[in-house]
């Protein structure tokens, strides 16, 4: 499902940084997560989610770091990470807007909402606004169909949106 | 019917353990621990409870299969992936009454002999993640989780495992792979998880709603519980209604409530005074029905007899302005995106289906395209590694069966005049 990431990750590969950008706190939280499972590898997706929360996206350094923390090969980390839609390899804006485009939202106007949003932000899917404030992506059903059309900005849901009301919503995010 | 699963939904702050306990949470743990595990399994068997995740497998039987396997290490997994488009029923429990789920899991763990549970939670539910973590912490603090629950020598640990965006991880063996830190691709069955699941240990996987029923089966006793709803599948059922209705939302109704009552009485009827054109009764992978089917009862057997499925109880309503080619294209776009790539018929088949829909929606459809879609479906049907592919063809087959004229309008070379709107769903 995310094969297209392969090329991108390759391109973003950089020389490993000598000084780790990953905090001690992150190391501790990953270590704590491993305790919940009979096998350290099970903490892989939780660890990747933690890093993405901190950095906004994953890169080669993240893959190496997690591989080392969990004592598994980098290829396994990348194999897993490249499978999941919500793990990304591109820098994101300070706020990530996910617009649902699945059926219930589509029936109630998701497509016009997306069109309006693209115009308003001036960027396409996966791109970051020039001020670094937002990036946006489409997403499959987020289980908010009772508030269709619905979106997720960072961890917050917003529903029953119109092209007008989405502008007010965006203003809440600086 | 008095609410059971949703009884604390309207109680403010029921996610807090003190409030939840005041309203009955954890009251059945002590009683359940007083019942021998095999008797508890039998009680659930006699209750007639069938799984609420989609397949409707008898819960008690699943538990028995796992409980019977010798071994000290077993796992209980809660499927909170809720990824089937249109489905949001479990969300109410996860966000508003997490203690009901935790109580159900403690009891289920005791019954099957599992001392460790995981809640596999979809990444798209970040709010639920925080609420569940906190609820679990509170349950530990109060001694409902841990090494010696209620001082009765029962051990059960529980944690949340967050996903990262993959519909297929709702399939039980893909869920296990994902829990283990791998790509979420299904395993071959047999062996079934009951004998070899997470880390190859005996494992039970149940849906959130299934587990939420357990405290009530313990409280009422199997006989009384079995009188609720339909004889063939007793109990309350959560329905999530969305689309072209006035009052979309989650409703707890007896199993076997008719589609008409669900849509018109509870969900407030069709928006803007329009007419119902089609209804998907159980989530994206269940066949569409029409206005002629409104008196069908929403339960496993009745919907099956009508040519569809209860699925996840996600009712999606289309009004008479909807173009069923467009609707189906949206769903195929989803299935194509979410096919995990493991097996050829599903990976390639959903890809081809979407290609044909693209062509039709771009106004370049050919009259033969409808039959082409049907023939691609035949290349998928019965040939996939897991049920995803089978689910993907359901909207295609049912929309062509019931609304072939919509397709014919698209491919007749003259168009329908709404191509502009239609093209927007292509992505
Ligand atoms: C593609 C696919 C997606 C699924 N998604 C879910 C899901 O999100 N939630 C769920 O409970 N079951 C889902 N299921 C069904 C599970 O495989 C499994 O049958 C269910 O979790 C068992 O629980 P139950 O017996 O309590 O229903 C899915 C199945 C398939 C094939
Ligand atoms: S279809 Fe958009 S939230 Fe479900």
> CATH number for the domain including B357?
1.20.1440.230
Write down the pLDDT at residue B137: 98
Structural domain boundaries enclosing B110: 17-227
Indicate the burial class of B188 (C-beta count within 10 angstroms; 0-12, 13-18, 19 or more): exposed
**Cα angle value B118/A81/B114 (rounded, 5°):** 15
Same domain for B312 and B336 = no
Residues in contact with ligand 2 by the CB-under-6-Å rule are: A 100, 102-105, 141-145, 148, 150; B 85
- Find out whether B229 and B2 touch, Cβ atoms under 8 Å: no
Considering only CB atoms, which chain A residues are within 8 Å of B318? 107
For the segment A106-120, what is each residue's pLDDT rounded down to a tens digit? Answer: 999 999 999 999 999
Indicate the burial class of A172 (C-beta count within 10 angstroms; 0-12, 13-18, 19 or more): exposed
Write down the pLDDT at residue A12: 46
Same domain for B104 and B222 = yes
Q: How far apart are CA B241 and CA B257, in angstroms?
A: 13
Q: Closest chain A residue to B85 measured between Cα atoms? A: A141
Same domain for B162 and B286 = no
**Residues in A 118-147 with any Cβ partner in B closer than 8 A:** 138-147
Q: How far apart are CA B122 and CA B119, in angstroms?
A: 10
Q: How far apart are CA A42 and CA B118, in angstroms?
A: 12
Ligand 2 centroid, distance to B47 Cα (angstroms): 33
Phi and psi, residue B149, nearest 5°: -65, 130
Which residues fall within 8 angstroms of residue B6, CB to CB, at 6 or more apart?
A: B92, B97, B238, B250, B252
* Partner residue opposite B184 with nearest CB, options A83, A115, A147: A83
Regions in chain B scoring below 50 on pLDDT: none
Which of residues B300, B319, B338 is at a domain's end? B319
Which of residues B188, B203, B227 is at a domain's end? B227
For chain A, the distance separating the N- and C-terminal CA atoms, rounded to the nearest angstrom, is: 33
Same domain for B137 and B56 = yes
Q: How far apart are CA B37 and CA B41, in angstroms?
A: 6
Q: How confident is the model at residue A136 (pLDDT cuts 50, 70, 90)?
A: very high
Which residues fall within 8 angstroms of residue B378, CB to CB, at 6 or more apart?
A: none
Same domain for B39 and B69 = yes
pTM here is 0.96
- Residue B52 is given by DSSP the state S
Ligand 2 centroid, distance to B394 Cα (angstroms): 19
Probe residue for ligand 1, chosen from B51, B53, B58, B66 as the CB with the greatest number of ligand atoms within 8 Å: B53
CB-CB under 8 Å, B327 with A103: yes
Write down the pLDDT at residue A5: 41
User: What's the gap in Å between the CA of A163 and the closest CA on chain B?
Assistant: 16
Reference B334, options A116, A104, A109; nearest CA is A104
Q: How confident is the model at residue A15 (pLDDT cuts 50, 70, 90)?
A: low
Reference A31, options A22, A40, A20; nearest CA is A40
- Asked if the structure places residue B298 within a domain, the reply is yes
- Tokens, residue B390: 């089978």
- CB-based contact, A45 to chain B, within 8 Å: yes
- Asked if the structure places residue B32 within a domain, the reply is yes
CATH assignment of the domain containing B52: 3.40.50.11540
Write down the pLDDT at residue B46: 98
Same domain for B307 and B239 = yes
Domains of chain A: 22-83 (1.10.10), 95-171 (3.40.30.10)
Same domain for B131 and B195 = yes
Report ipTM for this prediction.
Answer: 0.96
Write down the pLDDT at residue A2: 43
Same domain for B309 and B334 = no
Same domain for B278 and B185 = no
User: What's the gap in Å between the CA of A132 and the closest CA on chain B?
Assistant: 23
- Asked if the structure places residue B1 within a domain, the reply is no
Which residues fall within 8 angstroms of residue A24, CB to CB, at 6 or more apart?
A: none
Furthest-apart CA pair in chain A: how many Å? 51
Write down the pLDDT at residue B425: 85
Q: What is the DSSP annotation of B296-352? A: SB-SHHHHHHTTS--TT-EEEEEETT--HHHHHHHHHHHHHHH--SSSHHHHHHHHH
Same domain for B187 and B219 = yes
For the segment A76-129, what is each residue's pLDDT rounded down to a tens digit? Answer: 999 999 999 999 999 999 999 999 999 999 999 999 999 999 999 999 999 999
As a whole number, mean pLDDT of residues A18-25 equals: 77
- Asked if the structure places residue B4 within a domain, the reply is no
- Asked if the structure places residue B311 within a domain, the reply is yes
Which of residues B283, B301, B319 is at a domain's end? B319
CB-CB under 8 Å, A146 with B88: yes
**Cα angle value B172/B173/B178 (rounded, 5°):** 95
Q: How far apart are CA B178 and CA B171, in angstroms?
A: 10
- Asked if the structure places residue B181 within a domain, the reply is yes
- Residue B272 is given by DSSP the state G
CATH assignment of the domain containing B243: 3.10.20.600
* Partner residue opposite B180 with nearest CB, options A41, A46, A144: A41
Indicate the burial class of A171 (C-beta count within 10 angstroms; 0-12, 13-18, 19 or more): exposed
Same domain for B335 and B259 = no
Same domain for B399 and B282 = no
For the segment B143-200, what is each residue's pLDDT rounded down to a tens digit? Answer: 999 999 999 999 999 999 999 999 999 999 999 999 999 999 999 999 999 999 999 9
Examine the pLDDT at A8 and tell me if it is beyond 60.
no
- Asked if the structure places residue B9 within a domain, the reply is no
* Partner residue opposite A39 with nearest CB, options B87, B125, B199: B199
- Asked if the structure places residue B11 within a domain, the reply is no
| Domains contained in chain B, number | 3
Furthest-apart CA pair in chain B: how many Å? 75
- Find out whether B214 and B47 touch, Cβ atoms under 8 Å: no
* Partner residue opposite B330 with nearest CB, options A36, A102, A112: A102
Q: Which of the residues B242, B245, B420 would you substitute to probe the A interface, choosing the one with the greatest number of A C-beta atoms within 10 Å?
A: B242
């Amino acid at each position: 499902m995310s094969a297209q990431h392969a090329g991108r990750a390759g391109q973003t590969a950089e020389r490993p940084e000598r000084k780790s950008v990953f905090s001690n706190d992150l190391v501790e939280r990953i270590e704590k997560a491993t305790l919940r499972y009979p096998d350290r590898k099970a903490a892989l997706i939780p660890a990747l989610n933690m890093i993405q929360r901190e950095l906004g996206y994953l890169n080669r350094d993240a893959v190496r770091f997690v591989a080392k923390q969990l004592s598994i090969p980098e290829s396994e980390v990348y194999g897993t990470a490249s499978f999941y839609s919500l793990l990304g390899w591109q820098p994101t804006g300070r706020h990530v807007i996910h617009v649902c485009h699945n059926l219930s939202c589509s029936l109630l106007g998701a497509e016009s909402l997306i069109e309006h949003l693209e115009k308003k932000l001036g960027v396409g899917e996966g791109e970051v606004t020039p001020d670094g404030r937002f990036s946006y992506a489409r997403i499959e059903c987020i289980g908010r169909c009772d508030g269709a059309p619905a979106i997720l900005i960072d961890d917050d849901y917003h529903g029953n949106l119109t092209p007008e009301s989405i502008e007010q919503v965006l203003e809440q995010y600086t | 019917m008095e609410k059971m699963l949703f009884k604390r939904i309207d109680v403010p702050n029921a996610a807090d353990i003190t409030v939840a306990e005041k309203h009955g949470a954890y009251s059945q743990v002590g009683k359940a621990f007083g019942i021998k595990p095999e008797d508890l399994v039998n009680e659930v068997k006699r209750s007639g409870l069938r799984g609420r995740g989609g397949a409707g497998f008898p819960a008690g039987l699943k538990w028995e299969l796992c409980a019977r396997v010798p071994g000290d290490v077993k796992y209980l997994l809660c499927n909170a992936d809720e990824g089937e488009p249109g489905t949001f029923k479990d969300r109410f429990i996860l966000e508003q009454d997490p203690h009901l789920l935790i109580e159900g899991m403690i009891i289920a763990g005791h019954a099957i002999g599992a001392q460790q549970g995981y809640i596999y939670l979809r990444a798209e539910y970040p709010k639920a993640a925080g609420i569940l973590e906190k609820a679990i912490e509170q349950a530990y603090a109060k001694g409902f989780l841990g090494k010696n629950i209620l001082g009765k020598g029962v051990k059960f640990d529980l944690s949340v495992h967050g996903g990262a965006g993959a519909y297929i991880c709702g399939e039980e063996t893909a869920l296990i792979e994902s829990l283990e830190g791998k790509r979420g691709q299904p395993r071959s069955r047999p062996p079934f998880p009951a004998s070899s699941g997470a880390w190859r240990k005996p494992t039970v996987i149940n849906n959130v709603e299934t587990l939420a029923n357990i405290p009530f089966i313990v409280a009422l006793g199997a006989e009384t519980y079995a009188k609720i709803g339909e004889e063939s599948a007793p109990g309350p059922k959560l329905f999530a209604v969305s689309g072209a209705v006035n009052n979309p939302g989650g409703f707890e109704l007896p199993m076997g409530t008719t589609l008409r009552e669900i849509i018109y009485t509870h969900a407030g009827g069709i928006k803007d005074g329009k007419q119902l054109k089609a209804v998907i009764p159980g989530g994206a992978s269940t066949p569409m029905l029409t206005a002629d089917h409104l008196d069908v009862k929403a339960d496993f057997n009745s919907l099956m007899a009508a040519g569809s499925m209860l699925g996840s109880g996600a009712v999606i309503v289309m009004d008479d302005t909807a173009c069923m080619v467009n609707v189906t294209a949206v769903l195929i776009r989803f299935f194509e995106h979410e096919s995990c790539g493991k097996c050829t018929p599903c990976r390639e088949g959903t890809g081809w289906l979407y290609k044909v829909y693209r062509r039709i929606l771009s106004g370049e459809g050919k009259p033969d395209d409808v039959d082409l879609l049907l023939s691609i479906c035949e290349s998928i049907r019965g040939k996939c590694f897991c049920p995803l592919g089978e689910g993907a063809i359901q909207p295609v087959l049912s929309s062509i069966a019931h609304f072939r004229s919509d397709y014919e309008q698209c491919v007749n070379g003259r168009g329908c005049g709404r191509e502009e709107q239609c093209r927007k769903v292509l992505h």
